[in-house]
A and B are shown apart, each in its own frame.
Chain A
Amino acid sequence: SQKIEQNSEALNIQEGKTATLTCNYTNYSPAYLQWYRQDPGRGPVFLLLIRENEKEKRKERLKVTFDTTLKQSLFHITASQPADSATYLCALADATGGFKTIFGAGTRLFVKA
């Protein structure tokens, strides 16, 4: 069955360091992969999208890589700040499924000052 895996353990890092979150998937051929941020009591908010034919995408302090051979995406936040503390969700969209979007369970990030 299709599965998206994110590290269920929270990630604790010091302010200024780079946070790296992992998303692995199985039995899936995504047309594109997205990363979202979710704060407590709020809905997820879109951050970045990377397509199947792209290796890397950047936006300000954020960087996403996409390896369709390894079936893995890495999400990096450089120069992390306490305001980056949130849950980060990986999402995949499959063209054969009409681009229905499936989410991983998310990884909680804590950035300490």
Chain B
Amino acid sequence: DAGVIQSPRHEVTEMGQEVTLRCKPISGHNSLFWYRQTMMRGLELLIYFNNNVPIDDSGMPEDRFSAKMPNASFSTLKIQPSEPRDSAVYFCASRGTGLNTEAFFGQGTRLTVV
């Protein structure tokens, strides 16, 4: 397996534009997490899904952020409209079930909003 795949790796956009980040989890994993990492706030959990269902979205900062998981192999995180303070590295992670409860992270998407 190629691991968790995120795209794009880098995104530069202007304030007010819509941004969509994509994630393909590891096949067979049933949990998916979206995190945001900044120097000031560290690694923050935004939302996580179990079996494609959003379980906890309390970390989503504002209504401008939305996430979907239409099937077990794909998830998106959308920001609209984007603002400069959204600039960060966004990570997607997936996790299997049972005793193997480690999370596997993608390479991240570095978002810059100018």
Contacts and interface: CB of A to CB of B under 8 A. Distances in A.
B42 A43 contact: no
B45 A99 contact: no
B56 interface: yes
Main secondary structure of the interface of A (DSSP, over half): strand
Interface residues of A, number: 21
B45 A101 contact: yes
Interface string A76-113: 00000000000001010100011111111110000000
B45 A98 contact: no
A110 B90 CA distance: 25
B106 interface: yes
Contacts of A28: none
Contacts of B103: 34, 44, 46, 91, 101
B18 to A, nearest CB: 24
Contact of B106 (A43, A91, A104, A105): A43
B101 A99 contact: yes
Nearest to B42: A105
Contact of A103 (B42, B55, B101): B42
B108 A101 contact: no
B106 to A, nearest CB: 6
A103 to B, nearest CB: 4
A44 B105 contact: yes
A100 B43 contact: no
A10 interface: no
Interface centre among B35, B50, B55, B102, by most A CB within 10 Å? B102
Interface centre among B33, B43, B104, B106, by most A CB within 10 Å? B43
Interface centre among B4, B95, B103, by most A CB within 10 Å? B103
B101 A100 contact: no
B55 A98 contact: yes
B105 A45 contact: yes
